[in-house]
Structure formats: C-alpha cells, structure tokens
Amino acid sequence: MLATIPAVVIAAATFLGAAQGCSVVSGVKVTYYGAPDNDPPGDATAYDCGGRNYHAGGVGTYANPLTFATAPGEYNECEIVYLPYMKKYVRMEDYCEACYEDYESGIKHIDIWTGSSTSGGDAQIQCEDDLTPDNVQSVIRSPATTLAVNTAALWDGTTCHTEDVYPTYKVSSSERLRILISSLNTRRFYTHLEAILHHRCDYNLNLNLNLNCGHIDSHLPDWLLLVGALRRLLLQDI
C-alpha cells in the first residue's frame, strides 16, 4: 500500500491552488459603475494593477480579473478576490467615495466596473442599477484560481446583460473540496493523506482549519466529503 503513496500524493496535489489563508467576507454591499459615472468620467483608475496603466478592464478570469473599486484599507491594492454573485474574479484597482463613506460607517461596500471605456450614458447607468443586487453578497479572499467563471460582459456598449449575475449561486461541492485541500499546509496534507491511506477512521479531524472558503456551512460534512473523495481516489490505486 505504501508504494502507492507517491502517485496518490501527486494526483491529490494537483488540487493545490493559491487559496492559502482563504476566507469569506459576508455582508458585502455590491454596486456597479462605469465610464459615465466614474470620477472623472472614463476608464481611469487610482491604481496601476497588472500592467493596465491605470485603466479599468478585465473579463473576470483570475488571469484577467475585472476591476473593482472600494475604500482604501478595505482590501489590498491590486488584491484579487472572487465574487460568486457574478462568477468572476475581480481586482481592487480603484477608489470609491461612496464605499469610503460606507466603510467609515462600518458597511462593507465594493463597486464593480461594468466595462467599456466609452460612456454609455443613461442607458449604462440604468444597467448598473439593474445589475445591483437587493441583498448583500459574499466575497472570497485569497481564492483558488480555478473557480467557475463567466467571462461575458456586463455592459457590451449597447446591451445590459443582467442574465450574467447569479443571486443564488454557491460554490459547488467539488470546488469546495479543492479549496479545502488547497488551504492545507503541504506537510500536514501529507500527514492526513497518509492517515487516510491507512484507514484510520478514528483519527482526529479537529484540525483547526478555516473552512469558510466557499460557502462552507459546517465543518464535519465537508471533512467527510474530503475524506470520502480522497478514499475513492486512493482505492483506485490500492
């Protein structure tokens, strides 16, 4: 059985991503802005992130995140987070005065770029209002890099795509599993994987991990998911 450990470890390690220390920020007010209501009007941003030379942009992938604005100190400059409401990665590239006022009052607020460097006028502003959710949302910080993504434009210059927001979306079980594995320290991961290989059903699952990375509601079911999925993987090679 021990001879199978390297192959299994390599297979399981493919799940490891960039979600070290990932966490979920809940209760976030989400609004939208664009060229017509930017200050000054246009696509200029406060910070130069990813070589964009102080211009807003992006499609929502981890490699090409969509711009968002917020209050200084609420997120790190150029920090990439994941917003399940849009199934997009977004990057903190701009300052938002309304977000700052809310932040001073204890309200978490981010403002998402709707796209296009050319002003869409009142129609785009109406689109921003239509995209804005009635309820607060969750934001995943330090997310895994492979979460589900929709790269469609929110505003394409003429049309508002309200069909490309997902008010009820939650990260899937498989993605939650990937986040769980990616949050493990490598040495500890090998230790717990070896324990599973030896079928230590009574070994301690109290690992003091942050399991809130992807709308995880409780500890035990997700650990059972992790153990079950790994055991199914391992039993193929044992």
Task: Quickly state the pLDDT bin for 23 (edges 50, 70, 90).
Answer: confident
Domain assignment present for 42: yes
Domain assignment present for 213: no
Mean pLDDT check: name the lowest of 69-83, 181-195, 215-229.
Answer: 215-229
Nearest-angstrom CA–CA distance, 44 and 48 = 10
Nearest-angstrom CA–CA distance, 223 and 175 = 14
Quote the DSSP letter at residue 91.
Answer: E
pLDDT score recorded for residue 212: 41
Other C-beta atoms lying within 10 Å of the C-beta of residue 188: 11
In the chain, how many domains are there? 1
Domain assignment present for 86: yes
Domain assignment present for 33: yes
Domain assignment present for 14: no
Task: Quickly state the pLDDT bin for 184 (edges 50, 70, 90).
Answer: low
Tokens 């299994």 map to which residue?
8
Domain assignment present for 110: yes
Look over the chain and give the mean of its residue pLDDT values, rounded to a whole number: 77
Domain assignment present for 202: no
User: Alpha carbon of 225 to those of 12, 216, 222: distances in Å?
Assistant: 14, 11, 5
Is 229 a residue whose pLDDT tops 60?
A: no
Domain ranges, residue 39: 23-174
Peptide bond into 65 cis (omega under 30): no
How confident is the model over 148-173, as pLDDT tens digits?
A: 899 999 999 999 999 999 988 876 65
pLDDT score recorded for residue 149: 95
Domain assignment present for 229: no
Quote the DSSP letter at residue 75.
Answer: B
